[in-house]
Structure 1
């Protein structure tokens, strides 16, 4: 490895660590505001909330690493352009591709780490976080549940909670395509939901077939849906492929699962597009009074995040093809970078 390679990797690597700390704090702050702050406001145990937040750190690191890489690249290369280091490299016969090479090498390291963590560490950590909330719900349902909360039982049925009070929960619905359980009251006992004063209705087509009342029924729970959409990131690649195959065989839509599967690869692979874009932009801005500055660095980083968020939502809803939704933002930055490399100073 040459002196130039070591210099570029050292400069960008140090900035990546600082940027990653900022990005992770921002992502965790979003989780705290959207999910955890309402729980604290309803009286949830702060220790439980802190544990859950800690289990979200690996996810924030994996998702924040590509953004931190983009931020660091733009910041370092912009500074090198302002201080005429890039001009000196060109004058000394160092090509733009030669500058790009060590940055791609560093990006490959981030890609491998993020890809491996996204399919192993992150799913386990998110599932452990859900288990923390699950145990807390069993002890104090009013603090962690709210009307409209959805749960999943051990048989894959959707459990809908309509009312939450100090006495327990009410207006419970356990729903499948063939039947529905309706109960006025429910309470948690040792990992199960106990329903009382309810009714079971089975369906044949669109019409009710049988109706029977019950005094008591137990529903074993395995999952809580206490987060905003995006929980598919807690599944591994194998689990996503299995779910896609199952939904396809049943004729059910699987846009969200296929989008999540492609994002497993597209998010860490964004580092390659970022390296091309940052180098192209840095050389394009040479030779004039133009300077990217801190504001420009922040704006360009935010543009990718905004594009990625919109693409994810459109892919999950089936508006965009999942491949385009997952890989589109990467493609935009890569094409822009190649154009800038061609137009930049030689």
Structure 2
């Protein structure tokens, strides 16, 4: 049964959680938005799918942002109660640290389940859709991505430059096209009456198809140019996104990873599971780290919390590489990182235990 103390703590924790999560999302979404704008500018994706990609990217971020946001939300909420002497009042009424931890666990369990669903279900789904949209495999045309009439459009770091006078709104065809291509010392010029963009359904590469035009090829300063007339001429202006096998590994369904015996698939599965386990591990750590003295500054042990979380992220990367390189046994995988954080939390909770205090007193008396 949820008591008044539980409701109060849950309210404080979730208010801080939403505020911290919103700030983190704004920072990372802004960074992703700039990245997608760059892709639109060079013609890798269409501006029509920009906000669709941005929304899918938010789903990818949530599973990784909620665990640190929850950790620091608990630190803030419980730390404020210590600074305002609310914890002292609760302890004087017989509400100990274990009772407070129960309230934190009430908040941590549903958050952990939510993160597990996001990481193991929603995140691969959104990664798959993003890969399909960018590679042009959604079945929808990405034509005219990054192409603006009346200006020069540059691709392949300047090796492909073309100009289009106008674009029809009805069939999205380009008219009066000028193209310059460069391959080493050879310079090619192409003019065409009309053109359009298409994606190869087999390779995923994007082509600019020109119709009814002329092609001039040669070296600047020499008169031996080759002139040819064509009915249709295709230029590749974008390559397909590289994939692992048929699909990127981060977009594979979780049940496929779970059934696989490949060490990379198993490491990907444990990587997806790690945020949910991290929520529970840092729910344990948040209680001793949030302890502070009355009227102490709000950043009393925040630096230590940042340090521990940074070490945790570093250990995650190390454990994943060790698992892939088979430095650690496959059964151990990445589990030891979360167990280490849980063990650290139990060590930091020892000073609150009555039996530990008695043991320390007896040890001091024995030395005396």
Q: TM-score, normalised by structure 2?
A: 0.61
Listed as ranges, the matches of 1:258-337 within 5 Å are: 258-283=266-291, 285-286=292-293, 292=300, 295-321=303-329, 324=332, 326-337=334-345
Structure 2 Cα separation of the partners of residues 333 and 22 of structure 1: 26
Structure 1: runs of 5+ lacking an equivalent: 148-162, 172-186, 196-222, 246-253
Query: In structure 2, which of residues 230, 244, 252 is the aligned counterpart of residue 235 of structure 1?
Result: 252
Structure 1 Cα separation of the partners of residues 324 and 48 of structure 2: 34
Structure of higher CA gyration radius: 2
State the match for 2:126 in structure 1.
Answer: 125
Query: In structure 2, which of residues 250, 261, 265 is the aligned counterpart of residue 257 of structure 1?
Result: 265
State the match for 1:75 in structure 2.
Answer: 76
Q: Is the 8 A contact 2:316 2:334 kept in 1?
A: yes
> Tell me, what secondary structure is at the counterpart of 2:95?
coil
Q: Which moved more, 1:111-120 or 1:96-105?
A: 111-120
Is 1:88 the counterpart of 2:105 in the alignment?
A: no
* CA 1:26–1:225: 2 relative to 1, 3 Å: farther
Q: Is the 8 A contact 1:263 1:327 kept in 2?
A: no
Shift of 1:188: 5.7
* CA 1:165–1:192: 2 relative to 1, 3 Å: farther
> Tell me, what secondary structure is at the counterpart of 1:24?
helix
* CA 1:224–1:266: 2 relative to 1, 3 Å: same
> Tell me, what secondary structure is at the counterpart of 1:119?
helix
State the match for 1:193 in structure 2.
Answer: 203
* CA 1:78–1:226: 2 relative to 1, 3 Å: farther
Shift of 1:38: 4.9
Structure 1 Cα separation of the partners of residues 243 and 41 of structure 2: 15
Q: Is the 8 A contact 2:281 2:341 kept in 1?
A: yes
Shift of 1:121: 2.5
Shift of 1:27: 4.0
Count residues in correspondence.
Answer: 274
Q: Which has the higher helix share?
A: 1
Shift of 1:264: 2.6
State the match for 2:212 in structure 1.
Answer: none
Structure 1 Cα separation of the partners of residues 131 and 24 of structure 2: 23
Shift of 1:271: 1.4
State the match for 1:183 in structure 2.
Answer: none
Q: Give the CA RMSD over aligned residues.
A: 4.0
* CA 1:194–1:118: 2 relative to 1, 3 Å: closer
> Tell me, what secondary structure is at the counterpart of 2:100?
helix
* CA 1:28–1:322: 2 relative to 1, 3 Å: farther
State the match for 2:39 in structure 1.
Answer: 39
Q: Is the 8 A contact 2:281 2:342 kept in 1?
A: yes
> Tell me, what secondary structure is at the counterpart of 1:115?
helix
Shift of 1:286: 4.8
